[in-house]
A and B are shown apart, each in its own frame.
Chain A
Amino acid sequence: MRRLFHGLVPICRKEFLHIVRDPGTLFFALAIPMLQLFLFGFAVDTNIRQVATVVFDESRTQDSRQLLASLANSDVFQIKSYASTKEEMYEAIRAGKARVGIRIPYDYARHLQDGSTATVLVLVDGSDSNVAGQAVSTSTGVALQESLARVLPNGKMPIEVRPSVLYNPATRSANFFIPGLIAILLQVMTILLIALSLVREREHGTLEQLTMTPVAPLGLMVGKMIPYGVLSFLELCLILGVMRVVFQVPIHGNVLVLLVMSVPFLLTVLGLGLVISTKAQTQAEAFQLAMGTILPSIFLSGYIFLIENMPPIFQGIARLIPATYYIRILRGIILRGAGIRELWGDATVLAVMGCAAVLLAALQFVKRKAI
């Protein structure tokens, strides 16, 4: 057993010295994820509000003005300009000055008076599917409400839906995105730190020297994982602090459980970094391989798109991505107040993945006699 991990303590100590000796790297390792957190945290807002709208009101009646007021009151539309011709309205949308065009025909009021159907044209710029969807559903909703109010004599609705959003009542994007972002930021930082540290040794020839010593592969690997794991863990605490204080995202669950369940994820990404370092000969190669892990982790992990909506093959791939499980843990604990009982399965998968990655890396090293 001791032979299996031979060299762990001196490697670990040396690695801490490297970290302390190079404050530049330390600073960037900690500051860049923080910077990204601020950028994305403030920039990402998927709630659609105040969509620029151009209006071509041919009717110019009290009825038409009432409809426009209802639309503007929905907070989704912001009437930016009035067009006096159809062409002018189209031009405003094409030029990107407005994303929605509303045309109320000249016979709008008359149709309303005589009880036939009055039509309103809503033109939606589909280049952003989220905006388009929101514009369509809101305008339909407003029209429905207006119609009912006219049909029902006393203005009382027979059914009223009272939606109550659990866990993220204000449906703030930050609450939804930042917990996922933590996984991505931690993954990039950890993989890069550990992979570069090993590949640097390969480039400088110190790895060759180590292969001539009795250092065991697991001693080297675990000896490197501990310092960089500690560093990533500190970064996690920092990010959680900023999330709570700056972005006001409440943590509904137990922070301690969250921290403990983060350890298997860190193990996995450290192991992934090690696997990358066995493949890469130069730091540039290691950097590219590390970057290659980012896109799937963003797009297939459920961070942005719902896994349930993906084609089956991608759902399968999603199950192989460590970030999928960690994002579930993060959102579960932070947003829904979930605990060990709900999330132990995800944590176990991560722990298994982590051990497998470390063993794979160690085997690669033994096979190539790279130590």
Chain B
Amino acid sequence: MTVAISAEHLTIRFGDFTAVHDVSFAITKGEVFGFLGPNGSGKTTIIKALCGLLTPSAGTGTILGMDIRKDAAEIKRHIGYMSQRFGLYEDLTVAENLEFYAGVYGIKGRRAIERKEEVLALTAIAPYMNRRAGQLSGGWKQRLALACAIIHSPEVVFLDEPTAGIDPVARRALWDLLFKLSGQGVTFFVTTHYMDEAERCGRVGYIYLSKLVALGTIAELQRLPEASPPGTERLQIVTAKTALLLEPVRHMRGVREATIFGRSIHALIDSDHLDALKAQLPEAQVQIIEPSLEDVFVTLTNRIMEASQ
């Protein structure tokens, strides 16, 4: 198990503001790592620090064994980066964008042609070769952006909210691509707001108020004592009148939190009040479930907010 990306007590301050506070993690080669957190929680700052664009105030990190403090220039040759803004030149064609980024990474001649064909085949964007990037739909722009980000066969790729504003079909296509590449040994560091995307990741980290508050596989996170405190149960309450029932459920004894999921209510309840709740809702189907990733994060967030107050 080789470590591809690591952060060790990484801390980044801007003046008085601590954007990233004592964050540590290690991501192994070929992993697809999901990084979640609200806007402004420090996700992009961590990416910038790992790419060597920001010098950490304390702590350090490595990419492929290279020190982010010392080897920033060398790191840039081995990583790919794609943001939700895509970084494409809209007045240039698909081929010209690819050629530009190949040139920027110093790929020349025969190898440039080979790489171009490889990424074109991988992203299936070849039919649009001579179209201007600005004329592509969001999904195709995203594929082109990915193609540009991997033109130099990077071993580590950072994707900063790559699917923001993209339709579900295109999102799924992108994830299929990511897994294909990760099978070839490419490590992905993906930030996202979408829980379904996070659930696809092998492991996820959750950053809140500049701190990494959870880190692990989905199953590990679901078993976290903070998310599933001992003596409580996670319930799914299926009823015909979910919207009307939400408030009453929230005020029932022992209910710690409740929220609507589609046509059901998810609630966290003290185990000894479970029977009382069932009795109060005779017409509803009440089931004990595993917490979803969203449940985990919402519970965690509430915990931190309570603790900080």
Measured between beta carbons, the chain B residues less than 8 angstroms from A13 are 100, 103
**CB within 8 A of B104: which of A10, A21, A208?**
A10
- Minimum Cβ distance to chain A for residue B143 (Å): 16
Contact status of A214 and B100, CB under 8 A, knowing A14-B89, A205-B85: no
**CB within 8 A of B76: which of A21, A204, A206, A214?**
A214
**CB within 8 A of B105: which of A3, A9, A209, A213?**
A213
Provide 18 A-B residue pairs closer than 8 Å at the C-beta atoms, listed in order of the A residue: A9-B103, A10-B104, A13-B100, A17-B91, A18-B92, A204-B85, A204-B90, A205-B83, A206-B88, A208-B85, A208-B87, A209-B81, A209-B85, A210-B104, A213-B76, A213-B101, A369-B53, A369-B54
Measured between beta carbons, the chain B residues less than 8 angstroms from A214 are 73, 76-77, 104-106
Give the distance in Å from the alpha carbon of A210 to the alpha carbon of B100 in the complex. Answer: 11
Give the distance in Å from the alpha carbon of A215 to the alpha carbon of B101 in the complex. Answer: 10
Name the CB-closest residue of B to A212.
B81
Measured between beta carbons, the chain B residues less than 8 angstroms from A209 are 81, 83, 85-87
Give the distance in Å from the alpha carbon of A17 to the alpha carbon of B54 in the complex. Answer: 32
B79 at the interface (CB under 8 A from A): yes
Write out, one digit per residue, whether chain A residues 207-234 have a CB within 8 A of any chain B CB (1) or not (0).
0111111110000000000000000000
Write out, one digit per residue, whether chain A residues 1-24 have a CB within 8 A of any chain B CB (1) or not (0).
001001101110110011001100
B51 at the interface (CB under 8 A from A): yes
Cβ of B87 and Cβ of A206 under 8 Å apart?
Answer: yes
What would 19 more interface pairs be, CB under 8 Å, given A17-B96, A209-B85?
A7-B103, A9-B103, A10-B99, A17-B92, A18-B92, A21-B92, A22-B91, A205-B86, A208-B87, A209-B83, A209-B87, A212-B51, A212-B53, A212-B81, A213-B81, A213-B101, A214-B77, A214-B104, A215-B104
Measured between beta carbons, the chain A residues less than 8 angstroms from B100 are 10, 13-14
Give the distance in Å from the alpha carbon of A21 to the alpha carbon of B90 in the complex. Answer: 10
Cβ of A206 and Cβ of B89 under 8 Å apart?
Answer: yes
- Minimum Cβ distance to chain B for residue A22 (Å): 6
Measured between beta carbons, the chain A residues less than 8 angstroms from B106 are 6, 214
**Residues 99 to 148 of chain B near chain A (Cβ within 8 Å):** 99-106
Interface centre among B51, B87, B101 (most CB of A within 10 A): B87
Write out, one digit per residue, whether chain B residues 10-47 have a CB within 8 A of any chain A CB (1) or not (0).
00000000000000000000000000000000000000
Name the CB-closest residue of B to A10.
B103
Cβ of A213 and Cβ of B83 under 8 Å apart?
Answer: no
Interface centre among A14, A22, A208, A213 (most CB of B within 10 A): A213
Name the CB-closest residue of A to B148.
A209
Measured between beta carbons, the chain A residues less than 8 angstroms from B96 are 14, 17
- Minimum Cβ distance to chain A for residue B101 (Å): 7
Give the distance in Å from the alpha carbon of A215 to the alpha carbon of B73 in the complex. Answer: 9
Write out, one digit per residue, whether chain A residues 82-113 have a CB within 8 A of any chain B CB (1) or not (0).
00000000000000000000000000000000
- Minimum Cβ distance to chain A for residue B153 (Å): 14
Give the distance in Å from the alpha carbon of A145 to the alpha carbon of B13 in the complex. Answer: 83
Give the distance in Å from the alpha carbon of A204 to the alpha carbon of B102 in the complex. Answer: 20
Cβ of B91 and Cβ of A21 under 8 Å apart?
Answer: yes
Cβ of A14 and Cβ of B79 under 8 Å apart?
Answer: no
- Minimum Cβ distance to chain A for residue B86 (Å): 7
Measured between beta carbons, the chain A residues less than 8 angstroms from B104 are 7, 10-11, 210, 213-215
Give the distance in Å from the alpha carbon of A210 to the alpha carbon of B54 in the complex. Answer: 15
Name the CB-closest residue of A to B52.
A369
- Minimum Cβ distance to chain A for residue B14 (Å): 12
Contact status of A18 and B87, CB under 8 A, knowing A212-B53, A213-B101, A213-B105: no
Measured between beta carbons, the chain A residues less than 8 angstroms from B87 are 205-206, 208-210
- Minimum Cβ distance to chain B for residue A16 (Å): 11
Measured between beta carbons, the chain A residues less than 8 angstroms from B91 are 17-18, 21-22
- Minimum Cβ distance to chain B for residue A4 (Å): 11
- Minimum Cβ distance to chain A for residue B53 (Å): 5
Measured between beta carbons, the chain B residues less than 8 angstroms from A6 are 106
Give the distance in Å from the alpha carbon of A6 to the alpha carbon of B79 in the complex. Answer: 17
Contact status of A212 and B103, CB under 8 A, knowing A14-B92, A14-B96, A205-B83: no
Measured between beta carbons, the chain B residues less than 8 angstroms from A9 are 103
Measured between beta carbons, the chain A residues less than 8 angstroms from B51 are 212
